[in-house]
Amino acid sequence: MIGIHDMGGMHHLGPVETDDNAMFHADWEGRVFGLQMIGAAVGDWPADEYRYIIERMPPADYLNAAYFVQWLQALEQLFISRGVIGADELRERQTAVANGAALPDVGPPDPLVVDQLITTMRDLAYHGGLPEHPELPRRYHIGDRVVAVSRAVPNHTRAPQYIWGRPGTVVSHSGVFSLPEAVAHRLPDRPEPVYGVRFEATDLWGEGAEPGTSVVLDLWESYMAPLASSTSRAPS
Amino acid sequence: MGSNHGHHPGDLSEGEVRARALESLLREKGVIQGDVVDEIVAVYSSDIGPLNGARAVAKAWTDPEFHDRLLAHATDALAEIGIGGLQGEYMVAVQNTESVHHVVVCTLCSCYPWPVLGLPPAWYKDAPYRSRVVREPRAVLAEFGTHLEPGVEVQVWDSNSEIRYLVIPRRPDGSENLTEDELAALVTRDSMIGVTVLPAVGAAVGAA
């Protein structure tokens, strides 16, 4: 989707707050991180589905909200969509919290459940959770000149606007990965070869670009097309 | 988190209200129990952090064969020294040299190599860095106090896939006699993102 999240190259979004080194600005942000890990451990959603929810936040909210409110947006929708919580009861609980009303006490924790949750989350933290894919035949090779295709689709994609239609050079073969379009929308898996593709800054931003600058992205084959040119290989 | 006292209506930010409400409901449903949230936050506050990446960099500086393995197959090389996990399942290490400087971003969201650097700082996730560093990296680096020599190429890595990038900073001048542990202590998180370079060791007091 062409959305506000796709902000590579945008002007006038403010100064980089180089002193803002906080991982969490407040306790609640850390707790949201924890809730995300719970969701990752026991939920049934991939990162791209999570990302797509955030991408569809109203643009003003996306820009103005605290970063971890973006995560809350995704967590709330995902837990609701999976039937873990209801939208109405969430709204009621939010009202209760905001009004300082007493919240229901929960019983003592079940040590077995606690252990299982902690074990699962630590396993995720230290061992990860992404599948490997077997090799697939490759359409492109290192040195190939390619063009990034436009992905003006309403669904999730990981091809940012600033490369659409721009020429690049394949610099690596990065492996085989599931196409995010399929992952985000729970379609049948579409693994494709992914390549590191280098774009010269002048091709992205024009003559005003910083000289001697390039940007490298990882492109799925669906994101690329051969560059129509009499020169098929990059100049040495 | 069963209690909700000690504040007045309107005290809590939107994020805090929504976070408390969601956690409260999930506890009521039994999805969360006990201290699980605190436990996993502690893992990322105290254990998984930039010291991991610093260890890998220091080893790469002192062990040329490890350095080559790190550049060729970073995920496997990091696993050799016990580093890996969520958001680092596919690692690539890129080496800064006297002719090329690397810097990492995620323009589309905030993807970051958690196993080597922990959780990202706020500036990395926010709109200004994400929008500007792909278009004017040297200007952004200058705001971090980093001024590259003229003629140094800059390569920006936009983490748009599940591949995560670790910058290997240049080994500082004057560090030749340091142990691997001493070297690791020099390596900053920002240098492994690529927004800073590491200063020479033992710069004279009062040097400009």
Does residue A136 belong to the interface with chain B, where contact is any CB pair within 8 Å?
no
Minimum Cα–Cα distance from A51: chain B residue: B109
Residues 6 or more apart whose Cβ sits within 8 Å of residue B177: none
Domain ranges of chain B: 14-45, 49-193
Sequence letter at residue A44: D
Two structure tokens written together for A9: 């190259």
Query: Which pLDDT value is given to residue B62?
Result: 98
- Domain extent, residue A35, equals 27-127
Inter-chain CB pairs, A–B, below 8 Å: 307
B194/chain A closest Cα distance in angstroms: 13
Mean of pLDDT over chain A: 94
Query: Which pLDDT value is given to residue A159?
Result: 98
- CATH code of the domain in which A77 resides: 1.10.472.20
Span B175-204, average pLDDT: 94
Residues 6 or more apart whose Cβ sits within 8 Å of residue B73: none
Please state the pTM of the whole predicted model.
0.95
Same-domain status, A123 and A150: no
Instruction: Evaluate whether B208 touches B66 at the Cβ level (below 8 Å).
Output: no
Instruction: Evaluate whether B137 touches A204 at the Cβ level (below 8 Å).
Output: no
**Which one is predicted more confidently, A183 or A236?**
A183
Calpha distance A57→A207 (Å, rounded): 34
Short-list B87, B53, B105, B55, CA closest to B163 = B87
- With both helix axes pointing from N to C terminus, report the angle between A67-81 and A27-42 in degrees, rounded to the nearest 10: 30
**Catalytic residue numbers of B?**
106, 109-111
pLDDT digits (tens, 9 = 90+) for B15-72: 999 999 999 999 999 999 999 999 999 999 999 999 999 999 999 999 999 999 999 9
Instruction: Evaluate whether B152 touches B101 at the Cβ level (below 8 Å).
Output: yes
Hey, are the CB atoms on B134 and A8 less than 8 Å from each other?
yes
In Å, how far from its chain's centre is CA A44?
16
Checking if the pLDDT of B204 tops 80, the result is no
- CATH code of the domain in which A157 resides: 2.30.30.50
Same-domain status, A210 and A181: yes
Sequence letter at residue A173: H
For Cα atoms A131, A134, A138, give the angle at the middle one, nearest 5 degrees. 125
> What is the ipTM metric for this complex?
0.95
Query: Which pLDDT value is given to residue B2?
Result: 44
Least confident of A29-33, A37-41, A145-149: A37-41
pLDDT digits (tens, 9 = 90+) for B64-97: 999 999 999 999 999 999 999 999 999 999 999 9
* Run of H or E including A147: strand A145-148
Instruction: Evaluate whether A196 touches B157 at the Cβ level (below 8 Å).
Output: no
- B49-193 folds as Nitrile Hydratase; Chain A (3.90.330)
Span B140-167, average pLDDT: 97
pLDDT digits (tens, 9 = 90+) for B189-199: 999 999 999 99
Checking if the pLDDT of A219 tops 80, the result is yes
Hey, are the CB atoms on A212 and B48 less than 8 Å from each other?
no
The answer to the question of residue A20 being in a domain is: no
